Structure 1
Amino acid sequence: MWGRGADAPVPAIGVLSGEGVMVGWSKMAEDLLGYRSEEILGRPGTDLRMERDRAERIWTWRGGQGDEDHRVGMLDLRHRDGTQIVTRSERIRIDTPGGAPAWVIAAIPASAFTIGTSVLEPLLAAAPVVMVAWDTDLRSAWRNERAQGLEGVFPYFQVGRPLPEDGSVAPPELVRTVLAGGEPVLDREVRWSQDGEERTFSTFLFRVDGLDARHLGVCLMAIDITYSRARERLALLRRASVEIGTTLDVQQTAQELADLAVPRLADYVSVDLTEAVMPGPKPLERLGPMAAGVPVFRRAALTSVQGGVPDALWPQGQPVYVPPSSPLSAVLESGTSYFEPVVHISPGTWLDDDPHRAHVVRTMGMHTLMMVPLKARGRLLGVATLIRTVDETPFTRDDLMLAEELAARAALSLDNARQYTVEHDAALALQRQLLPRKLCGGDAIDLASRYLPSDVHQGVGGDWYDTIPLQDSRIALVVGDVTGHGINAAASMGRLRTAMRTLAYLGLPPDELLSRLDELYARQDEEEDRSALSPIAATCLYVVYDPATRRCVMASAGHLPPAIVRPGGEAAFPDLPTGTPIGLGLGSHRSVEFELDGGTLLALYTDGLIERRESDLEEGMRRLSAALDDGTAPLDGLCTSVIDTMVTEAAEDDVTLLLARTRRL
């Protein structure tokens, strides 16, 4: 029987014969059910049950769930006035002197049931965690005050209520497994939402056994970890500040947003960007009222928990078609989010005009949806769509706020990438326009060149190369590097190249030409009152070759020496005086003269070809010397081979290479 502490309730006692007739009745039983002993003794015990079906009552009374000698559970008993009383009952088999079985039944009202001692009862009743106990029939036998507060959400927490088959907090099959095997279930996360508010619990299920090792039922303990959920959201936002916008590539930034949100927030995410942000080879039409299904933007990124992304209608890079009735169109027009916690696919919804999407929604089980605009600096850049398929929990308003915050951070990175792309494309176009389109070596030398813009920083620097035909069949070779990146560096390079060509046509020797160029740009800085923090500065190597005399004269303005590969020999770097860079106004330059045999190879380059963070310039020059080992190979193929050998990863600076081979006359 139950414990006999000072506060333990006194049970009502009844004795039932083997034939199911009441043969014993206590004073507490009379007080509980209203029957006096003379009214109940000799009557079938089934008269006290609430079940309407007589066969069901008899089956229950006679141990239809087993012939145990001892059983604890819930009983719905009938009061004399016809009302129902839910009791916590204990049935014990006894043997009469004649050997016939009988059962002693002790019952107390479920509302008066205590755990057992005056010390534990108030402690557990007022515990700051949800606690519920079910008996072996999976009927609620006890709950504490915290569980009573959740009665509106989980009505089966009420004492006497059976556990429903669709119980989300404690699935009956799981409770039966714990009851049978005794293995507890620890830290099972359960989420539910009401009126847009989401609550999250960490639940624990464990079996309760009596002192005699009999199974009494299963206890649920649930801890509200909603605040922990908020910390998870904050951690996700912190990750967004680190993982979104790691590059200045639009598609990469969009993909980082999608990858971060799956599966932490959604099961499927797509990011679609407008034509201004992600242009394609063919312009898209604009959203208009005249025709449905016009393309509005392009698919920039998508991620799904499903392998192969079967829940996507359009792959990455393709135009996305939406009808005017689609929420996507509404988000584009209004710039506000669309929130549909429960997706309705019945007739009369926006999916009627989009049968392809409707098919995917049904097939993949898409049941909750958010569409969030990507806006930055007053510009609408695109829309991020978030969907759940595997996760059965609907999106909440908190999820929408989190998605909007992620979208806002991603939009700033996307806008930065967009502006970078615009400037990069403009600078690259200007750079390529200012570089020579055709190299002219005449009868003196064969030429080949390569130019690779930087993959980092602002993408384009001020590297340039040139070949200038001079009088008497001579030819000038030039390679240079303007400090800085972007449009300004490209424009400065164009001005330097023009000025150098003008001075070269005057027939000046290399050292004098570089000194004049230095003086010219230093004076220009003074006249234009340029900031001392951003003067024009450039390194340059100027080489003049005379095929008639095979003499080669060169001078350097702070630039690296060329590599010279003589016929049958190895690459060597001449001891060239390093003059001051162009733009400083010092005019300190000296020329060096060499004689070059026919078939000699000259390699002019910028530091982007040989410089790496992990190695110094000397190491880079040794690598270049090895790459030029086959100096007799065709120049175009040799140019490609050298670039492939020297540039093995994303270049941090522009890469320029100019190869010239003297002809045998």
Structure 2
Amino acid sequence: MMRRDNRIILGRMKDVAAVAVIDAHGTVTGWTEGAELLTGHPADEVVGRPATDLLAEDVPGDILTGPAGPVALRHHDGHRLVLPLTVCPLTGAAGQPAGYVVTALPPGTTLAARAFEQASMSMSVFDLRQRYLRVNAAACHAMGVPEEALLGRFFPDTVADTEHSRGFLAQLREVAGTGRPVRYESYTDAPALDQEQAWSIEMWPVRDASGEPAAVALAASDSSEQYWARRRLALLNEAATRVGTTLDVIGTAEEMIAVLVPQYADFASVDLLDWVLGADEPPTLPDGGVVLRRVAHGSHHPGHPAAALYLGETDVYQPTSPPARALHESRAVLSQAGEPEFVQWVAERNARSPGGRPFRQGAHSMIAVPLRARGTTLGVAVCVRIGHPDDYGPDDAVFAEELASRAAVCIDNARRFTRERATALTLQHSLLPRGLPGQAAVDVAHRYLPSGSLAGIGGDWFDVIPLSGGRVGLVVGDVVGHGIQSSATMGRLRTAVRTLADVDLPPDELLTHLDDLVTHLAADDSGEEVAELGATCLYAVYDPVSRRLALAAAGHPAPAVVLPGGTAEFLPVTAGPPLGVGGLPFEATERELPEGSVVALYTDGLIEDRERDLDGATEELRRALTAPAASLEALADNVLKAVLPDQPGDDVALLLVRTRALGADRVATWDVPPDPAQVAVLRQAASGQLTAWGLAETAFVTELVVSELVTNAIRYGEPPIQLRLIRDRALICEVSDASSTSPHLRRAHAYDEGGRGLLLVAQLTQRWGSRQTGAGKTIWAEQPLPGD
């Protein structure tokens, strides 16, 4: 009967408690599976032995007859195990004591145990050798196995060998070895939940009555929402620094893809409306299908999946597709596997995939988000999850809209910058000389390189201006600032220089007038400080007859001259203040140059760079100018290659001229006595010179011009008077005298005896004019050569 009762008791308590049966002599006669799991002693080692062999310390003699209390047992591995025991006496058939049933309190028999079991967070208890002692329901749910499959097993034997599991085991051992609690966060799969989760884990030692660690307990709470919120915030912060670093539309889209893949999506693409990539104004979004151009895409696994469009291709998105809906509804559109629109979108996408390469298996969630900036729709971004286990949810939609909004502003900024740069560049090129006018004084080669920096197009310019007497004006300048305003100011200054040069002002006087103009422009246009709209300029005049170069500079770098022998030097120019400063004079410098000399005029963008020394760059320019070159054009290319920085931060204008000289065989000069009778003599001398030059057919007009100009100089001018004929690309007649009074063209009345001379000259010649000289003035007239 006793044995049957024992079996009944053991059978009833087998799965719920650690139970041992002890006979009246203190020998263990029964041992449950729960007792084996709790103490580590198998039944065959315990049954038949004295119960005292299991004790870790002496116990009171009345322990079996008194109330339940904690007893220190010796675990199979040697450590102490303190347990509260319950003792129930057994009685034989005759009523005599037959033994005792000793039970360790089973799980759930106390309020604390029930709290452990019913906790919403995952909780476990391990022994010091990292074997499961207790696991609550939440932990079993996350692991996907019942408690019986874990109890007594070594932790690494119950999980896959991953970075998370290795880190978890290391933390368990640290707590068991040091007795100090730890807290850390981990991100890993939850096998039973079929998704990745973030866990906030806390481990602490469980101590026995003596204060020694007897086990390790842990609590793990699901912090996935907080984890993903932090990840999304970090991704937004990353996007703020990585998206928009270049003011390039396609580059900005590629930067957005780099942020999204692989942290947020396994595949992502950016498609833009065509007008964004051009110079058109934004059109109204059509109600039906939307045509978009692919500008960027990326995959976590290159080539898998293959993009449905090649970069630069366009496609029509039907109104029911998620991308078209996102554009029309101006919000993020989510779609999951199994939904009709998702199935249709994948089918359409696979049908147009290059080479028939469809999405690989596993595409289960997508989100389409519009790219809108300043109330204007620019395009759409599409994100797809394939290997990532989680579907896109409402929080992901909020994040996508925020990221798309920031990226769209960067794309729109890039679009506006590109448009403004193109406008400024078009304006700049329209204001620069497209084809330099014909003249015989110099050979010309020029280069203009717009700035590639984010600052935009500057206001650099150059010009070659034919002047009277076969001379030529050479100009190079630089307006402060960048953008359309600088280009427009440059156009004004270039026009002003041409106008002032047309009245034959010497270089220093021309810069003085130009300085006044810049001052007025600054005051009238913006009211800002004058220096804010300043400019630098160098103006030079070369005379092929005297072979003299006169120049003046307003805050501009000095030009370089390469003499025919190959030596190069920088002309010692007195650098006046930049234009717009005002109040200081400009000084002119003159230098006689041998025929064939090369003069290099340039803006500071050629030699100035923050990464290098100015003196070193100037020396590089000098060496480049003296290097052998097949032509002036080749020399210009060589200079840019040798001197220009890899990434010039400013516009560059370069003007190279090779000087020519008009020899004595092309210039005839006569001193004019102040006697009207000498006019006929000079007419005859001029006619003879024209015959010698083979220009006899121009003699009639030339004699009339000589007669009128010499007569006026004798009558109204002051000696000395000089007549000069120059055979250049045109036939030039010049009369100089010491008077500074310039004649004016007027229409004579019917009864006037004079006043018709200059009108006659103007009618007979191609153009005429006067210029002031250091000794007086010169009246000149040009007529085309025969055959021109």
TM-score by length of structure 2 reads 0.62
Q: Which residue pairs with 1:214 in the alignment?
A: none
Q: Which moved more, 1:440-449 or 1:239-248?
A: 440-449
Q: Which residue pairs with 2:384 in the alignment?
A: 387
Q: Which residue pairs with 1:460 in the alignment?
A: 457
Larger RCO of the pair (alpha carbons < 8 Å, separation 6+): 1
Q: Which residue pairs with 2:160 in the alignment?
A: 174
Separation in 1, partners of 2:241, 2:491: 38
Separation in 2, partners of 1:433, 1:323: 43
Separation in 2, partners of 1:448, 1:533: 34
Counterpart pick for 2:135 among 133, 143, 146: 143
Q: Which residue pairs with 1:231 in the alignment?
A: 230
Q: Which residue pairs with 1:324 in the alignment?
A: 319
2:10 partner amino acid: A
Aligned residue pair count = 567
Counterpart pick for 1:28 among 9, 30, 40: 9
Q: Which residue pairs with 1:505 in the alignment?
A: 502
Q: Which runs of 5+ in 2 are unaligned?
A: 16-30, 49-100, 173-184, 204-215, 663-788
Q: Is the CA contact (8 Å cut-off) linking 1:541 and 1:554 kept in structure 2?
A: yes
Q: Which residue pairs with 2:651 in the alignment?
A: 654
**Residues 623 and 160 (structure 1 numbering): CA distance in 2 closer, same or farther, change over 3 Å?**
same
1:270 partner amino acid: S
Give the C-alpha shift of residue 471 in structure 1. Answer: 1.2
Separation in 2, partners of 1:442, 1:177: 80
Q: Is the CA contact (8 Å cut-off) linking 1:258 and 1:301 kept in structure 2?
A: yes
The percent identity for this pair of structures is 37
1:324 partner amino acid: P
2:248 pairs with 1:242: no
**Residues 363 and 96 (structure 1 numbering): CA distance in 2 closer, same or farther, change over 3 Å?**
closer
1:92 partner amino acid: A
Separation in 2, partners of 1:554, 1:316: 54
Q: Which residue pairs with 2:272 in the alignment?
A: 273
Separation in 1, partners of 2:165, 2:633: 79
Give the C-alpha shift of residue 335 in structure 1. Answer: 1.1
Separation in 2, partners of 1:249, 1:177: 41
Give the C-alpha shift of residue 27 in structure 1. Answer: 6.1
Q: Is the CA contact (8 Å cut-off) linking 2:541 and 2:551 kept in structure 1?
A: yes
Q: Is the CA contact (8 Å cut-off) linking 1:74 and 1:141 kept in structure 2?
A: no
1:571 partner amino acid: A
Deviation digits for residues 509-551 of structure 1 (CA, Å, limit 9, x no counterpart)? 1111111121233244445573337753110011111112211
Q: Which residue pairs with 2:673 in the alignment?
A: none
The secondary structure found in structure 1 opposite 2:229 is helix
Q: Is the CA contact (8 Å cut-off) linking 2:476 and 2:603 kept in structure 1?
A: yes
Mapping 1:331-350, distance limit 5 Å:
331-342=326-337, 344=339, 349-350=344-345
Separation in 2, partners of 1:316, 1:474: 56
Q: Which residue pairs with 1:555 in the alignment?
A: 552
Q: Is the CA contact (8 Å cut-off) linking 2:14 and 2:33 kept in structure 1?
A: no
Mapping 1:232-631, distance limit 5 Å:
232-279=231-278, 287=286, 289=288, 296-308=291-303, 310-342=305-337, 344=339, 349-356=344-351, 362-363=359-360, 365-440=362-437, 442-526=439-523, 530-532=527-529, 535-586=532-583, 588-630=585-627
C-alpha RMSD of the superposition: 4.9
Q: Is the CA contact (8 Å cut-off) linking 1:343 and 1:369 kept in structure 2?
A: no
Deviation digits for residues 297-330 of structure 1 (CA, Å, limit 9, x no counterpart)? 2222222221256531223333244233321111
Q: Which residue pairs with 2:678 in the alignment?
A: none
**Residues 325 and 31 (structure 1 numbering): CA distance in 2 closer, same or farther, change over 3 Å?**
closer
Give the C-alpha shift of residue 378 in structure 1. Answer: 0.7
Q: Is the CA contact (8 Å cut-off) linking 1:255 and 1:302 kept in structure 2?
A: yes
2:130 pairs with 1:131: no
Separation in 2, partners of 1:353, 1:263: 24
Q: Which runs of 5+ in 1 are unaligned?
A: 1-13, 16-21, 35-69, 76-86, 98-104, 164-168, 206-217
Q: Is the CA contact (8 Å cut-off) linking 1:556 and 1:578 kept in structure 2?
A: yes
2:633 pairs with 1:636: yes
Q: Is the CA contact (8 Å cut-off) linking 1:519 and 1:587 kept in structure 2?
A: no
2:44 pairs with 1:93: yes
Separation in 1, partners of 2:123, 2:557: 78
Give the C-alpha shift of residue 623 in structure 1. Answer: 1.9
TM-score by length of structure 1 reads 0.72
The secondary structure found in structure 2 opposite 1:640 is helix
Separation in 2, partners of 1:559, 1:277: 40
Give the C-alpha shift of residue 237 in structure 1. Answer: 2.0
Give the C-alpha shift of residue 276 in structure 1. Answer: 2.6
Separation in 1, partners of 2:562, 2:165: 86
Q: Which moved more, 1:495-504 or 1:646-655?
A: 646-655
Q: Is the CA contact (8 Å cut-off) linking 1:91 and 1:106 kept in structure 2?
A: no
2:300 partner amino acid: V
The secondary structure found in structure 1 opposite 2:272 is strand
Q: Which residue pairs with 2:726 in the alignment?
A: none
Give the C-alpha shift of residue 409 in structure 1. Answer: 1.4
**Residues 130 and 317 (structure 1 numbering): CA distance in 2 closer, same or farther, change over 3 Å?**
same
The secondary structure found in structure 1 opposite 2:296 is strand
Give the C-alpha shift of residue 203 in structure 1. Answer: 7.7
Q: Is the CA contact (8 Å cut-off) linking 2:514 and 2:579 kept in structure 1?
A: yes
The secondary structure found in structure 2 opposite 1:380 is strand
1:131 partner amino acid: M
Q: Which protein has the larger Cα radius of gyration, Structure 1 or Structure 2?
A: 2
Q: Which residue pairs with 1:100 in the alignment?
A: none
Q: Which residue pairs with 2:671 in the alignment?
A: none
The secondary structure found in structure 2 opposite 1:325 is coil
Separation in 1, partners of 2:439, 2:392: 72
Separation in 2, partners of 1:546, 1:361: 75
Q: Is the CA contact (8 Å cut-off) linking 2:121 and 2:220 kept in structure 1?
A: yes
**Residues 179 and 656 (structure 1 numbering): CA distance in 2 closer, same or farther, change over 3 Å?**
closer
